Amino acid sequence: MSSTLVFGASGQLGQCLKHVAAERNNTGLVFLPEEEANILDMGMLQKAFEQYKPAYCINCAAYTAVDKAEDEVDIARKVNKDGAENLAKMCGEYGTTLIHISTDFVFAGTGNQPLVETDEAAPISVYGLTKLEGEQVIPPHTNQYFILRTSWLYSEYANNFVKTMLRFGREREEMRVIWDQTGTPTYAIDLAGCILTIIESENQQYGIYHYSNEGVTSWYDFAHAIFELGNVTVRTVPIRTTEYPTKATRPAYSVMDKTKAKTQLGVAIPHWRDSLKVCIGRL
């Protein structure tokens, strides 16, 4: 089996890919250690691509600290834009297919209809802007790419909303959670499965795709479901975004339409609540 290089292997999605690859007995993924996988170091990338001559490259590496990015613009741009461009250059040079992870934050979130891939991107945060720039620098270097925009990622691994809510819910009597931001949670194990399906099926319908779980919810209702499924008793209070100010502005509505992913990638997408139940069962 030809090899697949995974960058950002120690992050949440990287760990989920490791989990799903083991379940599927896919031995072709190479999870590079951090000291060999700096996407800002072209010498390092050249060495890795020359050694493995990969058929695929998965970019899970990203600067994802949404609020910190407002102050650390240069670092966020280096990782999210320059890093993506470096990988795209290497993929173009070696004939490697790039699978790059992006975000719903590329949208302003001002509408009320599920977002399709061709809707105008208009980010309202530094994080969203640098992730959009990362998408835009890929096509000039290679036409063999899949850009997967995802949202509200969580899993058993790393730090995420689900694990934070379970911890806080056990420690506190009351949780105040935003109800006027709407989107869809994504179980990173499901996203990892989608990525491996692209690779295993040798799909060549390149382009931008939206992938989250099915359904629609608010952060408040998501938290409520986490407490219910996790058997945590805590009073949950809905609050407006204005009552919880953050440095970066979040999209108010970022529900994505997954029709293209389902038809062209051939993936079945579970409802967010069903996947949440699986995750909490594993936790």
pLDDT of residue 34: 84
At 234-263, the pLDDT tens digits run 999 999 999 999 999 999 999 999 999 999
Beta strand 207-210 with 145-150 is parallel
pLDDT of residue 240: 98
Q: Which CATH number fits the domain 4-159+184-213+256-269, given the four candidates 1.50.10.10, 3.30.1360.170, 3.40.50.1100, 3.40.50.720?
A: 3.40.50.720
Known catalytic residue: 94? no
Show the low-confidence residues of the chain (pLDDT under 50): none
pLDDT of residue 33: 87
pLDDT of residue 38: 96
CA distances from 279 to 60, 187, 242, 282, 283 (A): 20, 8, 31, 5, 6
Q: Which of 63, 127, 157, 211 is catalytic?
A: 127
Contacts 24+ apart (CB under 8 A), 241-247: 241/178, 241/180, 241/181, 243/176, 243/178, 244/176, 244/178, 246/66, 246/67, 247/67, 247/68, 247/70, 247/71
For the entire predicted model, the pTM comes to 0.98
